[in-house]
Structures are given as C-alpha cells and as structure tokens.
Amino acid sequence: MKIFLFISLIILAILIIGKNFFYSAKKNLFRDQAAWSGKDIKIKHNYSKAIPESKGVDNYLKIIADESKNYLEEQSQID
C-alpha cells in the first residue's frame, strides 16, 4: 500500500510539473506570434528594372528569385 501511495505521489508530481512546463512553453510560443499578428509587412518595390531572364509565367520560382535579387541589390545600395 505504501509503494502504491509513493508511486501515485511521484506520478502526480510529474504531471503537475509537466503541466506547468507545457503551459509556460505554450505561453512563450504564442507571445511571439501575438507580437507579429497585427503587423503588416510593407515591402517597397521598384518596378523600373526589367528582368530579362524571366519571360511570361513560365517559372514562378525564377521570377521570385530574380525579383528578390533585384530588391536585395537595391537595399544594399541604399545602406
């Protein structure tokens, strides 16, 4: 009977500590998400540069990569 009581207390302690651990981890995870949830991301993009390699809608990933490269080049020139 004493062994059963001892094991029950250990299990209860583990559950309480685990519950507190998961609660704090969940709170920290969603705190960062709440900080970003109401913010709009504004990207300034200049359409003056033409992208010679990407024509039409053939390759969306290539278009995105080329536009990203142009954007990063513009940002590095500003800084």
User: Please, which pLDDT band fits residue 11 given cuts at 50, 70 and 90?
Assistant: very high
| Same domain? 54 vs 29 | no
Is the pLDDT at 48 greater than 60, yes or no? Answer: no
| pTM > 0.75 | no
Residue 25 has pLDDT above 90, yes or no: no
- One domain for residues 5 and 35: yes
Task: Determine the average pLDDT of the residues in 46-59.
Answer: 58
Give Rg (Cα) of the chain.
27
pLDDT score, position 56: 56
CB 52 within 8 A of CB 64: no
Asked if residue 64 lies in contact with residue 57, where contact means CB atoms within 8 angstroms, the answer is no
Same structural domain, 11 and 29:
yes
Domain count, the chain: 2
Indicate if the pLDDT at residue 7 is higher than 90: yes
Whole domain around residue 75: which residue ranges?
43-79
